Structure 1
Amino acid sequence: MSKNHILHLEDVYKGYAGKNVLKNIDLAISEGEFCSVVGPSGCGKSTLLRLILGQDLPDKGKVLLDGKAVGLPDKRRGVVYQKYSLFPNLTVLENVMLGPKYLGLPNNTSPSVSEIKEAAMYYLKRVRLENAAHKFPHELSGGMQQRAAIAQTLIVQPKILLMDEPFGALDPDTREELQVFLLELWEAMGLTVLFVTHSLEEACFVGSRLLALSQYYNSGVDFQSHGATIVEDHPLERVAHSTEIKHNAHFQALISDVRAKAFNPELNQFVKDFNLNHQDSFRT
């Protein structure tokens, strides 16, 4: 594994109740990468995220973080879900302070309350919520609640930020606003992100790398039993864009191509025809 590959999955299989969900997942992610993950319903996007988080164990294969087995969930992996993770009885500031009270701060395992508060305010400023520090979650809009959840995760400085449909519950305008916000945060802080979404447009816009999982490919067995694998792996530009790029012809062509090849149950392309164009792509 390259020293720059913070995450490494090799020949990973996962199934439930005797049915394969994921098959032969090979994935290497470098530090500072923003990986978007898309795929048809039921292809195992959230299962992949749970394996990386350590919530589930693979049936076969390796899942390594910094060269070591990921083990159980810990502060090296932050996670943001679609449903807000804020405690309703705590203020925004108290919610962000909660993690370090139990996990400590980076390079400080026993921080004082004032040190935790100072760190929490720093991250609230990062997500532009310092003026809402003493409000309760119900006093915030959906977009503000999700920004608070991001601050809540980032304060312990995880090695990788895992996001499972984080903007799926937001209205279109707020969702686009949060996409731009997250890109700016990723670029400013050098975050490593794995971002699961059902929206191809969102995936192509926010990512520096686009991964498509699919169960619709030809491996010589019935697709209902062979499990999903990575069928598309595209490098995208490693810069934060204006939303205007969504109207770009090349941007729209990429969306159409990935939709045709990863989401079409009638195509069933052969393994040798997968579009694994990223420099870190590999298959075992």
Structure 2
Amino acid sequence: MIEVEKVWKRYGDNTVLEDLSLSVKEGEFVTMVGASGCGKSTFLNLLLGTQSATQGEIRLDGEPIAAEPGPDRGIVFQQYSVFPHMTVLQNVMAAPALAQSGITGRLFGRAKREANQAAFEMLERVGLTASADQYPQALSGGMRQRLAIAQALIAKPRILLLDEPFGALDPGIRNDMHVLLKNLWASFGLTVFMVTHDLKEGFSLGTRLWVFDKRRHDPHAPQAYGASVTYDLNLATTSEDDYEKTLAQIDQRTE
């Protein structure tokens, strides 16, 4: 589904990503870990289309991935990307409303009823129907991330991009969000790319784990070389012993 061929990303003299070549099948759940500033979020932006590769190409179904965000790719950030002046239901209705009616975001008649029903059904999937008429400031952090996920999924994307979506949540709430995300991934048939700083989260959620790190270092020119994927693990075939050993190795490299 996704082919990454010899991708580099530079900002002036700063090389962030270096010679990435990877392929991902539809339905995989790829978790991405690595030290801060090693290019994980940059790679996510390349997939989203908000940035372009300096060299190389990313293809979706054999065609260059669109160089702008589209309905085939949904994204959830660590910071809550919701509209504070809209109710929970209106927040979820916003994406289909803008897609159908343009910048005014106003729907009428049948179109409005259908958008309302679709949004309410999505809130049911993420456990927010009781909060449909509340405003985001009345929600807990976990509930706001449920709302952000509902916003991302209402357009029925094939690919879900997650940039540390649970990093600001308490451990108990994170566990609940893990269960929700796994259920949504399976029921919607999504292909997921998730950035996380938590190695155990990466191992427990994904079917595949990528570790971003620099293969080359120059102490006199620290920005000369970029990160690539130094580990690409199929988590379905990783035994408990291999898991512990690999976790220790990766933990040392990503501190």
Pair 1:10–1:95, CA change in 2 (3 A): same
Pair 1:255–1:81, CA change in 2 (3 A): same
1:198-243 deviations in whole A, cap 9, x for unaligned? 111111111010001101x2489978322100100001139xxxxx
Q: Which amino acid aligns with 1:143?
A: G
Residue 229 of structure 1 aligns to a residue whose secondary structure is strand
> Which of 245, 250, 253 is 1:253 aligned to?
245
Q: Which residue of 2 aligns with 1:200?
A: 199
How does 1:273-284 map onto structure 2 within 5 Å?
none
The answer to whether structure 1 residue 43 and structure 2 residue 35 are counterparts is: no
Equivalents in 2 of 1:91, 1:229: separation in Å?
42
Note the C-alpha offset of 1:66: 2.2
Out of 81-90 and 177-186, give the one that drifted further.
177-186
Q: Which amino acid aligns with 1:113?
A: K
1:66-115 deviations in whole A, cap 9, x for unaligned? 2222221111111100011111111100000000012249xxxx970001
Pair 1:222–1:45, CA change in 2 (3 A): farther
Gaps of 5+ in 1: 239-244, 265-284
Q: Which amino acid aligns with 1:34?
A: F
Equivalents in 2 of 1:124, 1:250: separation in Å?
39
Pair 1:112–1:236, CA change in 2 (3 A): same
How does 1:45-124 map onto structure 2 within 5 Å?
45-70=40-65, 71-104=67-100, 112-124=111-123
Q: Which residue of 2 aligns with 1:156?
A: 155
Note the C-alpha offset of 1:17: 2.5
The answer to whether structure 1 residue 14 and structure 2 residue 9 are counterparts is: yes
Q: Which amino acid aligns with 2:64?
A: A
Q: Which residue of 2 aligns with 1:143?
A: 142
Q: Which residue of 2 aligns with 1:226?
A: 225
Does the CA contact (< 8 Å) of 1:75 and 1:103 recur in 2?
no
Equivalents in 1 of 2:132, 2:88: separation in Å?
5
Does the CA contact (< 8 Å) of 1:96 and 1:151 recur in 2?
yes
Pair 1:104–1:250, CA change in 2 (3 A): farther
Residue identity over aligned pairs, in percent, reads: 41
1:248-284 deviations in whole A, cap 9, x for unaligned? 6654333213223x437xxxxxxxxxxxxxxxxxxxx
Q: Once superposed, what is the RMSD of the aligned Cα atoms?
A: 2.3
TM-score scaled by length of structure 1: 0.80
Note the C-alpha offset of 1:175: 1.5
Does the CA contact (< 8 Å) of 1:104 and 1:156 recur in 2?
no
Q: Which residue of 2 aligns with 1:275?
A: none
Equivalents in 2 of 1:104, 1:171: separation in Å?
37
Q: Which amino acid aligns with 2:68?
A: L
Gaps of 5+ in 2: 102-107
Q: Which residue of 1 aligns with 2:127?
A: 128
Q: Relative contact order, CA 8 A, sep 6+: which one is greater? A: 2
1:154-208 deviations in whole A, cap 9, x for unaligned? 0101120000010111112212221122112212222111000111111111101
Q: Which amino acid aligns with 1:252?
A: E
Q: Which amino acid aligns with 1:133?
A: A
Pair 1:131–1:250, CA change in 2 (3 A): farther
Pair 1:40–1:128, CA change in 2 (3 A): same
Equivalents in 1 of 2:191, 2:208: separation in Å?
11
- Number of corresponding residues: 245
Does the CA contact (< 8 Å) of 1:143 and 1:170 recur in 2?
yes
Equivalents in 1 of 2:128, 2:166: separation in Å?
17
Out of 28-37 and 167-176, give the one that drifted further.
167-176
Does the CA contact (< 8 Å) of 2:158 and 2:189 recur in 1?
no
